[in-house]
Amino acid sequence: MATLNSNIPAGPLASKWESYKFNTKLINPANKRKYKIIVVGAGLAGSSASATLAELGYEVHNFVFHDSPRRAHSVAAQGGINAAKNYQNDGDSVHRLFYDTIKGGDFRAREANVHRLAEVSVNIIDQCAAQGVPFAREYGGLLDNRSFGGAQVSRTFYARGQTGQQLLLGAYSALNKMIGAGAVKSYTHSEMLDLVVVEGHAKGIVVRNLQTGAITKHNADAVVLATGGYGNVYNLSTYARGANVTASWRAYKRGACFGNPCYTQIHPTCIPVSGDYQSKLTLMSESLRNDGRVWAPKKKEDCKKAPKDIEEGDRDYYLERMYSAFGNLAPRDIASRAAKTVCDEGRGVGETGLGVYLDFSAAIERLGEGKVRERYGNLFAMYHEITNEDAYKTPMRIYPAVHYTMGGLWVDYNLMSNVPGLFVLGEANFSDHGANRLGASALMQGLSDGYFVLPATISGYLASQNPGKRPATDKAEFKQAEENVEALTNQLLGNKGKRTPASFHKALGTLMWDYCGMARTKAGLERGIKLISELREEYWKNVMVSGEGNEWNQSLENAGRIGDFIELGELMCRDALHREESCGGHFREEYQYTPDDPETKQGIVNPGDVKRRDDAFAYVAGWEYAGSPAKAPILNKEPLVYEEVHMSTRSYK
Amino acid sequence: MKVKLKVWRQKSRNTPGEFRTYESPGLNENMSFLEMLDVVNEDIANRGEDPIAFDHDCREGICGTCSCVINGKPHGPHKGVATCQTYMRSFRDGDTIVVEPWRAAAFPIIKDLVVDRSAFDRIQHAGGFISVRTGAAPDANSIPVSKENSDLAMDAAQCIGCGACVAACKNASAMLFVAAKVSHLGLLPQGQPERYKRVKAMVAQMDTEGFGSCTVTGSCEAVCPKEISLDFIARMNRDYGLALLKGEPKKIAGGVAG
Ligand code: FES
């Protein structure tokens, strides 16, 4: 059994981080350059961490599977980044951001981590502005803000509808400076395929060069994974096609625990699925819910009518009706589930009946088309390209889609996994968003982890390691990991199967969406586990990979990643099955509020809202690999001890 | 609908390539161009042949990875979109579509439609940044930026680094790309201290990488998925000229004079 010690520092919540930084061990500048750190990934977390660690004087090696460190999917985040600056003087504070985030996560995040995140948020905006991130500004030259779901203040900073891109380019520029200075060595088209653990500590990785197929070993004093989320396990998602779980999964197989894998975010405002050829889903930014009103026809008969032919009185603005305090800005999990409910009732719109309207006519009337165009022009254009419809004239059709994963490798307060020396940042870790992430918080967390948290916490670990004494790559553990990667590659290439990796991915995606999607049940999850394990067995017998190992081979790349997704899918179902409660994005049909519950009668919640069971499930599930994909993994628990916040019933009414 | 594809196939950098023709299976006009390639590739793979290698990732026009020349035009028929945002409804049933990689000496082919654009990264390493140490930044609102300049900087900063500008240019010049970065940073107060040093360093690296020179034909602007304006090239030329006039900073004891 692994031990999951959160290592939360003592003291009052609001001063933990300050006193931690004061008490942590420092490394003198002359010694810093003797430590080599591997960072895998170059999204917001990976780039910001690589740049900052190099500024501090460490020798940094950064690995990405992309052709350039500027491509990671952080680049696609549209809406914005939260920070408790209170520039709007509307009552925001670090405490309010902290509370909104922990409540938004349905009281399943680690309290101390979330508070630190809220504290650090203000520094991120300063850092990015100084780097030249062109945030939106008011005419006076000061920074502008907008509102996002789950908050009643305007604390979101943005750069048109391309905030993620601009923040990533900022972090990439910081990284460029350090690459140019020779302080970071950048490896592109380099995919991590194994973690090397020596005497229980993470001390290196094995990498395949995607251009040449060369497999190489790299040692380090510490390994940092910033490799993003795993939503592509569903095949269809808003993720980039290349996003994958492989780095995290291989680390899991080397002993790192996987935290809360079933916590998935289904984003409410995506363009609905149109056909089975589809390769990805496209998000329409949550910022649209600032001015757009979500509705569905009240009557089933109206669903096939053109929206303009449906009378005002026959429209159900269901979010405004059900969650009057937050209305269209209800958190994502709630808005998504409400859309599903409406469609399940037969009131969905569009060809498939899986869609609701997001309507801007009121905003256009109030603000004028020009203002709406200025705020959301690029999103309307994107919608038009994909659907061939003009959202200035007719409402958008939207439906929920997989967008983010709150689960990830388990880390302690230092962002270190249970394998010493292995740190995990950004979406790849589990810690800050609980069971549901609020909008504009992913960018905040990625940059907080990379610019500010890890650079402060990693020294505590490194100080316990002798400088200049990292194991060499000729050690047996490195050889074994290299052989493991070669064997897997050869197995995939030598397998004379009949089914393409993509067809397995589609099959897996369907199973995951049906049994581990927006609504989950015991029977469904049990069935999912059975079917996925059968799919896994078929995979290794019947997958067909073309080409050779020593060349650019996308079929081989995908095959490796999909094999890992299949195993992960099974783990997600197991986690969802064991968690006999509903919380945030994890909705178990058996655990929901009914009209008879006192909370419903008091008007705190609606019937059908998620029902947590704090007495039994107020913990992080850290799953430990049992040595073979066919063996049931071991469940470890980290109790969620809240020192200041009371775990209450989440209400947005 | 169905289409015929004439695709450039090339096993690796040093092997000769050729066009090969593929018949697509039945398609839906709401498919994206890349989804069409996926479907064709599944077909090819099921026949036991090597699928067409092509670059892609986000499939929403923001990461800059996709890179096909479609019927002679980088990123295909439409203005202001990337290959991944091109839909099959832009083509007609029975069309023959010619698909090629970016062609430029500074972008060597890796395989089929995939090229090596690391030259762009190296230009950025040379100066594509504002030097600010993490943690050393002043309060963000202590540096006001006029909305006009901030908006203009954003226009330039939108560049997705795809390289279509190079692929479209008969000289394979990277001026629009470099100008976008130089202008983005040079328009902001934060970018002033390194403004002239930056432009010189980035232009020098651009030349080293083997990109051609700019003869202002404007083909780059025409294909740019973010519609980045040629004006930024003029702006960069001005900065570059000024940088040359200023010359090397004079060394003085204990520091550097501007
Ligand atoms: S795939 Fe990202 S821009 Fe086309």
* Per-residue pLDDT tens over the stretch A451-477: 999 999 999 999 999 999 999 999 999
Query: Is A267-402 a domain of CATH 2.60.40.1940?
Result: no
pLDDT surpassing 50 at residue B258: no
Q: Which amino acid is at A362?
A: A
Q: How far is CA B5 from CA A168, A192, A598, in A?
A: 36, 35, 64
Q: Which 3 state secondary structure label does DSSP give A600? A: helix
Q: Which residues pair with A639 in a beta bridge?
A: A619
ipTM attached to this prediction: 0.96
**Partner-chain contact B140 A71, CB within 8 Å:** no
Q: Which of B75, B134, B149, B152 to mutate to test the interface with A (most CBs of A within 10 A)?
A: B134
Residue A474 burial by Cβ neighbours in a 10 Å radius (0-12, 13-18, 19+): exposed
* CA count, 13 A, side-chain hemisphere, A296: 28
Distance CA A322, CA A319 (A): 5
| Identity of residue B137 | A
Report the distance separating Cα B128 and Cα B184, nearest Å. 10
Q: B150: how many CB neighbours lie within 10 A of its CB?
A: 23
Across the interface, of B31, B42, B184, the residue whose CB is closest to A500 is B42
Mutate to test the interface with A, among B30, B58, B184 (most CBs of A within 10 A): B58
Contacting residues of B for A209, CB less than 8 Å apart: none
Q: What is the mean pLDDT of chain B?
A: 95
Encoding tokens for residue A32?
A: 């810093």
Question: Which residues of chain A have a pLDDT value below 50?
Answer: none
Q: Which domains does chain B have, with CATH numbers?
A: 4-111 (3.10.20.30), 118-251 (1.10.1060.10)
Residue B195's pLDDT is 97
Q: What is the pLDDT of residues A182-207, one digit of tens each?
A: 999 999 999 999 999 999 999 999 99
User: Which residues in chain B are closer than 8 Å to A240, comparing Cβ atoms?
Assistant: 57-59, 63
State residue B256's pLDDT score.
45
**Mean pLDDT on B225-234:** 97
| Cβ pair B28:A277 closer than 8 A | yes
Q: Which residues line ligand 1 (CB under 6 A)?
A: B 56-59, 61-66, 82-84, 160
Query: In this predicted structure, what is the pLDDT of residue A142?
Result: 97
Question: Tokens in use for B116?
Answer: 């090596």
A209 touches chain B (CB under 8 A): no
| A126/chain B closest Cα distance in angstroms | 4
What pLDDT score was predicted for residue B252?
Answer: 60
| Residue spans per domain, chain A | 267-402, 476-619
What percent of chain B is predicted at pLDDT more than 90? 95
The conformational region for residue A29 under phi > 0 = left, psi -120 to 50 = alpha, else beta, is alpha
Tell me the C-alpha distance between A174 and A124, whole Å: 13
With CB atoms and an 8 Å threshold, state whether A126 touches B138. Answer: yes
* pLDDT for B230 beyond 90: yes
**Helix A163-180 vs helix A44-56: angle between axes, to the nearest 10 degrees?**
30
> Can you give the pLDDT at residue A276?
83
Q: How far is CA B17 from CA A358, B12, B101, B110, B112, in A?
A: 49, 8, 11, 11, 8
Closest listed residue to residue A373, CA positions, set A360, A386, A355, A362: A360
Q: Is A108 a catalytic residue?
A: no
pLDDT of amino acid B254? 55
Task: Give the pLDDT band (50/70/90) at residue B257.
Answer: very low
Helix (H) or strand (E) holding A617: helix A614-617
Is CATH 1.20.58.100 correct for A476-619?
yes
Task: Decide if pLDDT at B248 tops 80.
Answer: no
% pLDDT > 70, chain B: 96
The CA distance from A82 to A444, in Å, is 6
Q: What is the DSSP letter of A451?
A: I
Lowest mean pLDDT: which of A313-322, A346-355, B61-70, B244-253? B244-253
Tokens linked to B115: 């090229």
Q: What letter does residue A141 receive in the DSSP assignment?
A: S
State how far the alpha carbon of B87 is from the alpha carbons of A329, B59, B178, in Å: 32, 12, 29
The position carrying tokens 């029902």 is A611
Q: Return the structure tokens found at B18.
A: 């050729």
pLDDT digits (tens, 9 = 90+) for B85-132: 999 999 999 999 999 999 999 999 999 999 999 999 999 999 999 999
Contact criterion met (CB below 8 Å) for A309 and A365: no
Q: What is d(CA A225, CA A202) in angstroms, rounded to the nearest whole number?
A: 11
Distance from CA of B167 to the nearest CA of A (A): 17
Q: Mind telling me how many Å the CA of A169 is from chain B's nearest CA?
A: 9
Q: What is the pLDDT of residue B253?
A: 60
CA of residue A334 to ligand 1 center, whole Å: 31
Note the pLDDT of residue A365.
96
> Where do the H-state alpha helices sit in A391-521?
442-447, 454-462, 476-494, 501-516
- Ligand 1 pocket test, pick from B32, B37, B54, B65 with the greatest ligand atom count within 8 Å of Cβ, gives B65
Hey, how many other C-beta atoms are within 10 angstroms of the C-beta on A619? Answer: 18
Q: HEC string of chain B?
A: CCCEEEEEECCCCCCCCEEEEEECCCCCCCCEHHHHHHHHHHHHHHCCCCCCCCCCCCCCCCCCCCCCEECCEECCCCCCCCHHHCEHHHCCCCCEEEEECCCCCCCCEEECCEECCHHHHHHHHHHCCCCCCCCCCCCHHHCCCCHHHHHHHHHHHCCCCCCHHHHHCCCCECHHHHHHHHHHHHCCHHHCCCHHHHHHHHHHHHHHCCCECCCCCCHHHHHCCCCCCCHHHHHHHHHHHHHHHHCCCCEECCEECC
